[in-house]
A and B are shown apart, each in its own frame.
Chain A
Amino acid sequence: MKFCLVTAIVGVLLLGSPARAAGEYNTNATLIYYDAVSNQTLDPQEPQNNSSFAQGTLMAIYDALVFLNEAGDPQPGLAMSWDYNEDLTVFTMRIRPGVTFHDGTALDAAAVLKNLERSVSLGNRAGAATVETMSQIAAMELIGSDTIRIRLKSPSGQMPYLLGGQAGMMISPATLNESTFGVTIKPVGAGPYKVRSFESNVRTVTTRNDAYWGGIEGRPAGFEHHFVPEARARLNAVRSGQANLALIEPRQIGEARAAGFAVQINEKNSSWELHANFTRDTVGKLKVRQAIMHAIDRPALADALGGGASRATVQLFARSSPVYQEDLERLYPFDQARARALLAEAGYPNGVDVSWLLLNTNEYKQMGEAIQAMLGEVGIRVKFDVVDVSQYTAFRRPPQRGDLLMVRWGGRPDPLQTFQESSGSTAVPWGAAAPEIDQLIDQARALVPGDPKRLAVMHRLARVTTEHVSHMTLMTRSAVYAYKPGCVSNLPPYLATGNDRINDTKIGATCK
């Protein structure tokens, strides 16, 4: 049975209806955004751009084959529709007609094929998301000028999600003719903004693509992305008028509001979490991990360190995600007596020593020390092994260092990817916390987006991974923005990446 998953929808509607009429926006102004994350290159397939937090500029330049809406659901993008064969081994996409790249080259099935062939040929040089996507492809063929057929090595319903991320971002084939990879790529996409200049790790300056297939209504004349690592400088830039939007740190919320600026907090599929090495005698025991969960006072942590932008949670998904389940939050209340009892049941009545591979930044150390004190109160004695950020791989890479590692999770386009990368035995070297996790991941892979069964499997996965403490989620990480009141709109939380869709943001009519 061949079933069609998505029908054609007028593209402009996909980008969200503007909340206000176009006349209320200043379309001559330039949106200048000061961000904490940079782009080393503007090649979507390059490893540094694999970061979930580095997608903002890329989304402005390159449209992807699949558009992931605010909830992260696949919708038509450059591919107008797609379908699978019955056993999910053949994925066929019909490309939107009439779309051109910024250089005027037509975006047709041949252009898509060239992009995908290039990504396949990159192998391990590409970012992990691209490798993950391309490794599933066995062969590709053109069916006419507007259709491309992809044969998969094994059944997978994940392609619409995967092609909604950087793996599906399309570059002009004319550029691919001239260049190869990374810095040599000319950033010519089919997105709403054209690149005027780019300085690696400094700034990207773009102008509006007036021929954009999705329409330009209300869009500013340009979009500039500036990388400014110093949080104080980002807020100062908005306060003194060099930027009209800045990503700020939660601790700056009070300062920004006191200075009369609007603060917007977007809850994301992003969180702080602890990973445990299950091969260790101590944290390999479920009861020890459960004791850790009960010993951490998450609300206090979120209040003290989240600056009003974080929420205590045990899940990897934002409240607005369909995968989020309210009742899971009640699984691990702060209960020191219960934590001590669980430790005793695990064979550690006098407490237990654990090592923690702690990344050497203020943010990590602050969080780590607070949790160390909480765990110490129930007899879990934490010893830090402080390493440079670039050594985070030492946790998973032989010889594995540390019983625990804390990371900030940035979210993935597909909720299933989240489970695969955080809990599945294909990504976790010591295997899944429970055999059911891998079974559920396999089940979900065989289901297509939109299938109600898929969401049910996700819910089950969320429950099993939380009950087996596959990951110890602590609190949410939100994106916090500061801007002049009324000057920035259309910036809702976007769940598919660590970034929000800054490229859809509009500037108020009375603002510069």
Chain B
Amino acid sequence: MNTFRYITRRIISTVPMLVLVGLITFLLIHITPGDPAAVVAGENASLQAIEEARHRLGLDQPFLIQFWHWLWAVLHGDLGTSFTSGKPVTELIFDRLPITLSLTAGATLIGLLIAVPLGVFAATKRGSWLDRITIFGTSLGIAAPEFFIGLLLVLVVALEWGWLPATGYVPFAEDPVEWLARLTLPSVTLGLGVAAELARQVRGSMIDVLSRDYIQTARAKGLSTLSIIVKHGLKNAAIPVVTVLGLQVRRLLGGTVIVEQIFAMNGVGSLAVRAVFLRDLPVLLGVALTTAVVVLLVNLLVDMSYGYFDPKVRSA
């Protein structure tokens, strides 16, 4: 019951934050140069046609009235209609969300698969040349921009070796094998950065945990190294790692904007880019709000996971 109340309270507390996100996005779009009405009216439109489009879209109303209309609709579950395509924003986002979520999940998985063994290995062999290589490698991973890694992977793996496709996305339901093939390179592109950040965090946490008294006691009791790491080390080292993982989701969602362009994937990131160029206000607001909701939900999950990893937190 306490957990339910906690979750409810947290969800309610996000509402003002989401309104603020909406207001700031609304403001930013309005102070950015550009005329959505001119875009909607099309190439070579007359001035009259542009003014008609402005009136039709409600862009001739005062800023706060426009914001209120948007907010009121959102409170009723309506993210509005795209200025340019005429489709409901919710539909546009939900059509593309599977691509971005597949990409984000793939990158997180790759990040974890690389980071956890690497971080644990480096922590247990602290100071060795393998540990130094890990530190160097993770520094490189953090520093390397996604567009560089992506282009390099396309050039070598897709174009030179021909092992994987260079572009596009195929839905899982259409062809699971092709889905995996098309998702691999972009996921690796995004996942390497996550792996580098996480590996450092895992290494640091594990070094801290492995120096604790209860680990020494476990060793003295004759438990194997593997057992000590898995049963006592990893779980206790998890809290800072999960915190960093939660922060990576925000980074991943931002990274998809670039990766989707490189790999010609039409996810939420490309939708946002296109909306910026077309000054498609409702789509931009919808994407910003959806992203904020995803980030806030992930933060909530991260906070709740602390209770699993540390009973003291749960009882508190």
Q: Which residue of B lies closest to A185 (CB)?
A: B86
Candidates A184, A240, A390; contact of B166 at CB < 8 Å: A240
Q: How many angstroms between the C-alpha atoms of A392 and B264 in the bound complex? A: 28
Q: Which residue of A lies closest to B49 (CB)?
A: A124
**In the complex the two chains form, is A237's CB within 8 Å of B166's CB?**
yes
Contact (A47, B40) CB under 8 Å given A184-B86, A237-B168: yes
User: How many Å from the CB of A384 to the closest CB on chain B?
Assistant: 14
**In the complex the two chains form, is A237's CB within 8 Å of B264's CB?**
yes
Q: Which residue of A lies closest to B275 (CB)?
A: A201
**In the complex the two chains form, is B34's CB within 8 Å of A390's CB?**
yes
Q: Which residue of A lies closest to B82 (CB)?
A: A200
Q: How many angstroms between the C-alpha atoms of A397 and B37 in the bound complex? A: 13
Which residues does chain B contribute within 8 Å of A389, judged by CB atoms?
34, 277
Task: Count CB-based A-B contacts (< 8 Å).
Answer: 133
**In the complex the two chains form, is A237's CB within 8 Å of B167's CB?**
yes
**In the complex the two chains form, is B45's CB within 8 Å of A240's CB?**
no
Chain A: residues with Cβ within 8 Å of the partner, total of 48
Binds A, one of B9-17, B151-159, B191-199, B228-236: B151-159
Candidates B35, B46, B264, B278; contact of A230 at CB < 8 Å: B264
Candidates B42, B95, B262; contact of A48 at CB < 8 Å: B42
Q: How many angstroms between the C-alpha atoms of A392 and B42 in the bound complex? A: 11
**In the complex the two chains form, is B34's CB within 8 Å of A388's CB?**
yes
Which residues does chain A contribute within 8 Å of B50, judged by CB atoms?
393, 397
Contact (A128, B46) CB under 8 Å given A230-B261, A236-B154: yes
User: How many Å from the CB of B29 to the closest CB on chain A?
Assistant: 12
**In the complex the two chains form, is A201's CB within 8 Å of B42's CB?**
no
User: How many Å from the CB of A409 to the closest CB on chain B?
Assistant: 11
Q: How many angstroms between the C-alpha atoms of A203 and B166 in the bound complex? A: 17
A387 proximal to B (CB < 8 A): yes
Binary contact readout B259-280 vs A (1 if CB under 8 angstroms, 0 otherwise): 0011110100010011001110
Q: How many angstroms between the C-alpha atoms of A421 and B43 in the bound complex? A: 12
Binary contact readout A229-257 vs B (1 if CB under 8 angstroms, 0 otherwise): 11011101101111100000000000000
Category for how many chain B residues contact A: 35 or more
User: How many Å from the CB of B161 to the closest CB on chain A?
Assistant: 10
B293 proximal to A (CB < 8 A): no
B36 proximal to A (CB < 8 A): yes
A127 proximal to B (CB < 8 A): yes
B23-56 contacts to A, CB under 8 A, are 32-36, 38-50, 52
Which residues does chain A contribute within 8 Å of B34, judged by CB atoms?
388-391
**In the complex the two chains form, is B159's CB within 8 Å of A229's CB?**
no
B84 proximal to A (CB < 8 A): yes
**In the complex the two chains form, is A124's CB within 8 Å of B264's CB?**
no
**In the complex the two chains form, is B45's CB within 8 Å of A47's CB?**
yes
B165 proximal to A (CB < 8 A): yes
**In the complex the two chains form, is B158's CB within 8 Å of A240's CB?**
yes
User: How many Å from the CB of B133 to the closest CB on chain A?
Assistant: 32
A26-56 contacts to B, CB under 8 A, are 34, 40-41, 46-52
B133-147 contacts to A, CB under 8 A, are none
Q: How many angstroms between the C-alpha atoms of A48 and B87 in the bound complex? A: 14
Candidates B46, B82, B95, B274; contact of A124 at CB < 8 Å: B46
Q: How many angstroms between the C-alpha atoms of A49 and B42 in the bound complex? A: 8
B61-118 contacts to A, CB under 8 A, are 82, 84-87, 92, 95
**In the complex the two chains form, is B85's CB within 8 Å of A51's CB?**
no
B162 proximal to A (CB < 8 A): yes
Contact (A240, B42) CB under 8 Å given A40-B85, A124-B49, A183-B85: no
Which residues does chain B contribute within 8 Å of A387, judged by CB atoms?
33
A436 proximal to B (CB < 8 A): no
Q: How many angstroms between the C-alpha atoms of A52 and B162 in the bound complex? A: 36
A198-238 contacts to B, CB under 8 A, are 199-203, 226, 228-230, 232-234, 236-237
Candidates B33, B43, B165; contact of A50 at CB < 8 Å: B43
**In the complex the two chains form, is B166's CB within 8 Å of A242's CB?**
yes
Q: How many angstroms between the C-alpha atoms of A198 and B91 in the bound complex? A: 14
Which residues does chain B contribute within 8 Å of A234, judged by CB atoms?
264
A365 proximal to B (CB < 8 A): no
Q: How many angstroms between the C-alpha atoms of A128 and B38 in the bound complex? A: 12
Which residues does chain B contribute within 8 Å of A201, judged by CB atoms?
84-85, 266, 274
**In the complex the two chains form, is A232's CB within 8 Å of B41's CB?**
no
**In the complex the two chains form, is A390's CB within 8 Å of B158's CB?**
no
Known: A201-B266, A226-B264, A393-B45. 17 other contacts (CB 8 A): A40-B85, A47-B49, A50-B43, A51-B43, A124-B46, A128-B45, A201-B85, A203-B266, A230-B262, A230-B264, A232-B151, A233-B167, A236-B154, A237-B168, A388-B34, A390-B35, A397-B50
Residues of A whose CB lies within 8 Å of any CB of B are 34, 40-41, 46-52, 124-125, 127-129, 131, 182-184, 199-203, 226, 228-230, 232-234, 236-237, 239-243, 259, 387-393, 397, 421
A selection of 14 A-B contacts at a CB cut-off of 8 Å is: A34-B264, A41-B85, A47-B41, A50-B45, A184-B86, A199-B266, A229-B273, A233-B167, A237-B264, A240-B159, A240-B166, A389-B34, A390-B277, A393-B35
Residues of B whose CB lies within 8 Å of any CB of A are 32-36, 38-50, 52, 82, 84-87, 92, 95, 151, 154, 158-159, 162, 165-168, 261-264, 266, 270, 273-274, 277-279
